[in-house]
Amino acid sequence: MVDVAIIGAGPAGLIATEILSAAGKRVVVYERMPSVARKFLMAGRGGLNLTHSEPFEYFLARYGDAARKLQPMLEAFTPADLIGWANGLGAETFIGSSGRVFPKAMKASPLLRAWLARLNAQGVEIQTRSTWLGWNEDDSLRFDTAPRINASATLLALGGASWPRLGSDGSWRELLSARGVEVPPFAPANVGFRIAWSEHFRTRFAGQPLKGVAIRRSEHVARGDAMVTDYGIEGGPIYALSAAIRAAIPTTIRIDLRPDLRHKEVESKLARAKAGDSLSSTLRKTLGLSPVAVALLHENGAPPRDPAALAARIKAVTLDITAPHGMERAISTAGGVSWEAVDENLQLHAIPGAYVAGEMLDWEAPTGGYLLQACFATGAWAARAILRR
């Protein structure tokens, strides 16, 4: 008998493990991959954006429809708490110019090593290569390595369905559905979208950034740098709009190539352009547009030369979105365990004593530290609920 079985060794599972073991509980972590926290390490390749420093009201709004559900958890384990936790493990952090928070080492491996050393010192046992197969008739846990494990409480932290090669493939959905747990289907989040580029544009400009643009889908707007790809478009502002775009596919987005200027300012600059200059030269000299931005203006036909009409296109280049790039390339997923399937402690109504945390729950957020923050916060919330139980 173990006090708590943690299934899944990502951030949500490991922070819960730390809290429970620090309270003196016997905790065993089961992970089906050969090593722990593989997606966490992958995130570290991009600098390991732990959280964000913006005011909490803005931070909370990034979680969209799930914000109300997540609020008490994010208030109980705040960005400041996550920063303090990382600093306590020797992974000193800093705030970047965008407000994002990173460890100074700009990678995950030193932090993970220190974390695992702390868990080992607290008596935690981690069993890798252990695939969870569900429950037996007596509600004991079943693994391919152990047919019957009895635990006083279980925390499921198995992740969503993105980057399945790193361990989170969503295969647990059938196990929970069979027990009467409502699990809406997964959908790709923080993902690129497909656009039928012209062959010239695709071959010439794939891999080049559209810097400092504003992208709009209906009333939703996000600013930042987007990336042209051979299949379509991706990048921060696209990820921020992925829920709105995904819900409306097929749909149209509009890209403002100079969001810092009003329409009349763009028109005025174009009207003062030197006579005889080519269109490309005019756009480069008067507005500082890059070659990829200039080429984008041609994707819907030859751009007009009239300053007012050309300004209108520059401020709203329309692009038709046909489909998301795919779940296996998404940074995260929407869908998962319904909020109606859990109580205020993240305990499953259908399976008393079983809790869920992290990306298993039905929420999504853009990149920028919001994903890791919510994984840590929900893991900590479930762990404290288990201690109260």
CA–CA distance, 145 with 52 (Å, rounded to integer): 40
Residue 377: per-residue pLDDT: 98
* Same structural domain, 371 and 318: no
Residue 276: per-residue pLDDT: 79
* Same structural domain, 167 and 38: yes
**Sequential pLDDT tens for the chain (389 residues):** 899 999 999 999 999 999 999 999 999 999 999 999 999 999 888 789 999 999 999 999 999 999 999 999 999 999 999 999 999 999 999 999 999 999 999 999 999 999 999 999 999 999 999 999 999 999 999 999 999 999 999 999 999 999 889 998 999 999 999 999 999 999 999 999 999 999 999 999 999 999 999 999 999 999 999 999 999 999 999 999 999 999 999 999 999 999 999 999 999 999 998 877 899 999 999 999 999 999 999 999 999 999 999 999 999 999 999 999 988 889 999 999 999 999 999 999 999 999 999 999 999 999 999 999 999 999 999 999 999 98
DSSP E strand stretches across the chain: 2-7, 27-30, 51-52, 93-95, 100-103, 125-127, 132-135, 141-143, 151-156, 187-189, 193-194, 209-217, 220-228, 232-235, 251-256, 317-321, 323-324, 332-334, 354-356
Phi-psi region of 48 (alpha: psi -120 to 50; beta: other; left: phi over 0): left
Residue 316 lies in domain: 193-324
State the CATH number of the domain containing residue 229: 2.40.30.10
Last residue of a domain, one of 324, 341, 373: 324
Last residue of a domain, one of 291, 324, 357: 324
* Same structural domain, 63 and 169: yes
**Residue 373, both tokens:** 């923050």
* Same structural domain, 228 and 104: no
* Same structural domain, 123 and 102: yes
* Same structural domain, 207 and 333: no
**Phi, psi angle pair for 367, to nearest 5°:** -70, 165
CA–CA distance, 286 with 311 (Å, rounded to integer): 12
Rounded to 5°, angle at Cα 336 from 333 and 338: 135
Model confidence, pTM: 0.93
Q: Helix, strand or coil for residue 28?
A: strand
Last residue of a domain, one of 324, 347, 365: 324
CA–CA distance, 237 with 61 (Å, rounded to integer): 16
Phi-psi region of 282 (alpha: psi -120 to 50; beta: other; left: phi over 0): alpha
Number of domains observed in the structure of the chain: 2
> Which helix H or strand E contains 245, and what residues bound it?
helix 242-248
* Same structural domain, 216 and 345: no
Q: Helix, strand or coil for residue 190?
A: coil
* Same structural domain, 154 and 42: yes
Task: Specify whether the CB–CB gap between 168 and 10 falls below 8 A.
Answer: yes
State the CATH number of the domain containing residue 138: 3.50.50.60
* Same structural domain, 231 and 273: yes
* Same structural domain, 380 and 238: no
* Same structural domain, 312 and 337: no
* Same structural domain, 102 and 212: no
Instruction: Compute the residue count for the chain.
Output: 389
